[in-house]
Amino acid sequence: MVESKSVFYPQHLVQKVHQNTRQFEWAAEIKKRLISQAQPWLVFSDDELWKMVFGPTISRSWMVWSNGHCPSCRQSVMMYNWQVDAIKHRWKVHCPHCETFFPTNDFEAFYMSGLDDLGVFDPQQANRSLLFNLAYPEVAHPLHNFGVDDGTGYFDGQNRWRFIGAYLIYGQWKQLIVGGISRLAHAYILSADQIYAHKAAILLDRVADLYPTFDFGQQGIVYEVKGDSGYVSTWHDACEETRQLALAYDQIIDALLEDEDLVAFLSQKASTYQLENPKASVADIQTNIEDRILRDALGGHRKIHSNYPRQEMTKLVCETILNWDTERERIFALLDDLITEAVVVDGVTGEKGLTGYSTIGPRGVAEVLNLFSQIDFDLLPEMFQRYPQLKQTFRFHIDTWCMGQYYPTVGDCGGFALPTRQYMGVPFSNIPELHFSMYTFFWRLYQITDDPAYVQVMYQANGSSIEELPHDLFIDDPIAFQHNVKHVINQVSAEIPVGSVNKTDWNLAILRSTPPTEFQDRRSALWLHYAAGGRHGHRDGMNLGLFAGGLDLMPDFGYPPVQYGGWGSAKARWYTMSCAHNTVIVDGKDHFVADGVTTLWVESDCNSEGGFRAVRASGMGLIDGVQFERTVALIDISDGDVYVIDLFRVVGGRQHDKFFHSHFGQTTTQGLDLTPTDDDGSGTQMRNFRVDPAPPSCWSVDWKIDDRLGLLPLDSDLHLRYTDLTIGSANCKSEVFTAEGWVSLSGVSNDNAWIPRLMIRRRSAKSPLASTFVAIITPYQGESKVVGIRRLSLETEIGIPYPDGNVAVEIQLIDGRRDLFLSLDVENPLGLTPSLAADSIAVQQEWGKRLNAELCWVRQNRDGTVENEIIYRG
């Protein structure tokens, strides 16, 4: 049984669109734009559209050459930088630099010469005399074969450019076929003119003839090697394209029932090319599309497997279109399964890549709930009642968005030190399409949860304006919508108040400073990722980052530069290695895939000058050892200035290497005597090592920040100072190295840079080595407000020194105030004594402080009186 009416585009919704396009000028303009986008396909005859669809006999390639250049001008053209405009230049790609078109032969003529009895290209039948450079037809000319591609690529004897293989995907398939089907279907919904549905149906039916024969895993190429899976495109795009085709079919179903010309044309093609389906009726045509696109996608193969929940969304859409009237209960069960898995980790999927892959879950949930709202508008509040975790889903990227400028770069996402100035949980578009807009969706979230952050996010996304909200053709009353948004903003302001957060399932803690109101533009955030690995994760256990002074001052490198030869290339692997992060490695090994846990959390606004925030996380499973614990604190000074305390306790192995880097900049050292060393950074992308083989107990490195991205005022004098207080010992050799680390500056070019890095190494002849790395990190403009740092002793009441893992640090501030920070080693896996567990009291003699707690912070005024004191578990 085939479908006889649209599921996702019921008549009342389509009528609302038509009403809005008649009533509102903005809607009429959108209608005009979307219909105009379909006009190029009306120029094609039915026969031309049918022949537009190609078969699987030519290898498709995801890139012309991932790390390549133009064979004409020799300039770099990597990844997806080749230009394709299939409407204007059929069967051609062109260089973005010299604008030379490739292939140089008339591939269309060659292709048409090879069509077999089924209308599919057969390279054995094609006329190879057509394979020559049209600009140089003389056989003897040295450029006669230059740039010629027979479908297997142009080969110059050393390199291969897959011009046609890439064009088939990005030109013929994505632009002419899938793009054409979608644009024609949209034009039909907006105009009710059957010609658009007719043209879309011809393309859809011919795609259906051939779709099951495509298998990108057998026929496709990615990064110059065999593909994984997919249909025409590789798996992730095949998933999206299949859903796009299914929804286009659903949009035009109503128009097919009376299209006798469609039946006449397609039945004649079926007869001519001996197709199995005779296309003798509309039902035959629908069966062809439903069986060979929608039902084929529901098969047990991996052609549409994708990042969660994209495959599940596609299957759910196909099931709904096919079976809504008869299997509604099962469809809702599938929706339940999708939501359950999509919100399992702090409201999201748990996939890493905070501004990339981590957004796939919430965006998918929003998209599918929006889509089903077109069937049942009351479904959304019902789903929030059944799945309270959905309240976390769309808060996740609010809570992790720092100062409206940065997200922690965890996993495969972002670029080195790049800001992210838009909320990433869903994509807000100001160009209305044929679905409820995300502005409408977020207003409904506010109505359901009473959380004004959803209104603030959408207001900011619209340029902090209510103009033209909600950019939605389905909305009943846009003027009322705008007034409602403005009312909320007037009540709460446009600024989203977000404090420190700890996403304990996702293993991400963010400590936020709280400067006085007049210094809000000088906010800071310190983040700690206490896990490693996972889907699209890096081996970045206990990686630390800092946003301060308007910049990312401890940036993760970001998305691996796969343009240098794919995921397995040396430069791409470098980005995922533990030593490429601000963390510690043991015995030169990457971290294991494991999660850590939070063992301490302190958040206190002490007074009008700000507060004290700290987190401690433990992840013994990340290393081959018995302790891997990091304690960090973000401490306000005044007027928006902060400093960071960083304690890293490690027990295991025989060598511990702590890595640290900041932004672009130039470094100066104090207290180090560095000389060149022959360490070549083997296996990494580091160079120019210098070493101090016997560093003192206190030394520092100061970064004068180079605002290469132009994000700060021209007179900015931003610095970051790293002061190290790690203590050496007789049975452990300590060394400090400076070096340069390689970073990519673009995901689609070979722009790169070398940045200053630090490595603090401790080595022992015996295992297990125990290290406590102690550092103070101070961002500042012009002159630091931290003028003195020293490590103090801790003793028992009878004067016995506590082991190195128990830390006392004094911070002298420029205004005469002093801070004392105490942190005791509560894990103490080696059972060293004295200890808090065994002795109960630790004494800091100079401050006269007796501590029976895990952590303490004290601030004294210039006269010695206590201004603030924080004690944790005491």
C-alpha span between 103 and 123 (Å, rounded): 17
Same domain assignment for residues 432 and 314? no
Same domain assignment for residues 328 and 465? no
Query: Once rounded to an integer, what is the mean pLDDT over residues 190-218?
Result: 98
The candidate with the shortest Cα–Cα distance to 354, out of 536, 571, 496, 528, is 536
Q: State the amino acid at position 674 in one-letter form.
A: L
Between residues 210 and 748, which one has the greater pLDDT?
Answer: 210
User: Looking at residue 729, what is its pLDDT?
Assistant: 80
Q: How does pLDDT run across 73-84, given as a tens digit for each residue?
A: 999 999 999 999
Q: Is residue 611 part of a domain?
A: yes
Query: Once rounded to an integer, what is the mean pLDDT over residues 20-44?
Result: 96
- Model-wide pTM > 0.75: yes
C-alpha span between 409 and 700 (Å, rounded): 26
User: Looking at residue 873, what is its pLDDT?
Assistant: 87
Q: How does pLDDT run across 612-641, given as a tens digit for each residue?
A: 999 999 999 999 999 999 999 999 998 899
The answer to whether residues 801 and 794 touch, using CB atoms and an 8 Å cutoff, is yes
User: Looking at residue 1, what is its pLDDT?
Assistant: 64
Q: Answer with the one of 784, 817, 840 that is the final residue of a domain.
A: 784
Same domain assignment for residues 615 and 474? no
The DSSP symbol for 316 reads H
Token pair recorded at residue 345: 């980790």
Q: Please, which residues bridge with residue 754 across strands?
A: 742
Token pair recorded at residue 758: 């630090």
Residue 518 confidence (pLDDT) above 80 = no
| 745 Rama sector, left if φ>0, alpha if ψ -120 to 50, beta otherwise | alpha
Structurally, the chain folds into a number of domains equal to 3
Same domain assignment for residues 667 and 599? yes
Q: Answer with the one of 496, 516, 551 that is the final residue of a domain.
A: 496
Query: Once rounded to an integer, what is the mean pLDDT over residues 16-30?
Result: 95
Same domain assignment for residues 554 and 644? yes
Its domain, for residue 450, covers 428-496
Q: Is residue 760 part of a domain?
A: yes
User: Looking at residue 290, what is its pLDDT?
Assistant: 98
Q: Please, which residues bridge with residue 737 across strands?
A: 691, 759
C-alpha span between 621 and 594 (Å, rounded): 6
Share of the chain above pLDDT 70, in %: 99
Q: How does pLDDT run across 652-697, given as a tens digit for each residue?
A: 999 999 999 999 999 999 999 999 998 777 889 999 999 999 999 9
User: Looking at residue 730, what is its pLDDT?
Assistant: 75
User: Looking at residue 802, what is its pLDDT?
Assistant: 97
Q: Answer with the one of 737, 768, 784 that is the final residue of a domain.
A: 784
Query: Once rounded to an integer, what is the mean pLDDT over residues 159-188?
Result: 99
Query: Once rounded to an integer, what is the mean pLDDT over residues 811-816?
Result: 97
Same domain assignment for residues 520 and 653? yes
Residue 801 confidence (pLDDT) above 60 = yes
Around 663, how many Cα atoms within 13 Å sit in the side-chain half-sphere?
27
C-alpha span between 229 and 260 (Å, rounded): 38
User: Looking at residue 34, what is its pLDDT?
Assistant: 97
Q: Which residues contact 19 (CB under 8 A, 6 or more apart)?
A: none
Mean pLDDT of the chain: 96
Q: How does pLDDT run across 299-318, given as a tens digit for each residue?
A: 978 999 999 999 999 999 99
Same domain assignment for residues 649 and 517? yes
What residue ranges in 183-223 does DSSP mark as E strands? 220-222
C-alpha span between 326 and 7 (Å, rounded): 12
User: Looking at residue 874, what is its pLDDT?
Assistant: 66
C-alpha span between 517 and 13 (Å, rounded): 47
Torsions phi, psi of 420, nearest 5? Answer: -130, 100
Same domain assignment for residues 385 and 316? yes
CATH number of the domain bearing residue 606: 2.70.98.70
Same domain assignment for residues 639 and 659? yes
Q: Is residue 756 part of a domain?
A: yes
Same domain assignment for residues 528 and 445? no
Distances (CA, A) of 653 to 594, 623, 760, 770: 18, 9, 16, 9
Torsions phi, psi of 66, nearest 5? Answer: -60, -35
Same domain assignment for residues 467 and 531? no
Query: Once rounded to an integer, what is the mean pLDDT over residues 428-445?
Result: 96
Banded pLDDT at 609 (limits 50, 70, 90): low
Q: Is residue 793 part of a domain?
A: no
The answer to whether residues 35 and 187 touch, using CB atoms and an 8 Å cutoff, is yes
The answer to whether residues 99 and 85 touch, using CB atoms and an 8 Å cutoff, is no
Same domain assignment for residues 395 and 447? no
C-alpha span between 727 and 718 (Å, rounded): 29
Q: Is residue 677 part of a domain?
A: yes
Q: Is residue 371 part of a domain?
A: yes
C-alpha span between 174 and 176 (Å, rounded): 6
C-alpha span between 59 and 332 (Å, rounded): 39
Residue 190 confidence (pLDDT) above 70 = yes
Q: Which residues contact 704 (CB under 8 A, 6 or more apart)?
A: 665, 666, 667, 668, 717, 718, 719
Residue 608 confidence (pLDDT) above 60 = no
Residue 449 confidence (pLDDT) above 90 = yes
Banded pLDDT at 728 (limits 50, 70, 90): confident
Q: Is residue 789 part of a domain?
A: no
Q: Is residue 329 part of a domain?
A: yes
Q: Which residues contact 218 (CB under 8 A, 6 or more apart)?
A: none
C-alpha span between 443 and 441 (Å, rounded): 5
Q: Which residues contact 861 (CB under 8 A, 6 or more apart)?
A: 816, 817, 867
User: Looking at residue 607, what is its pLDDT?
Assistant: 65
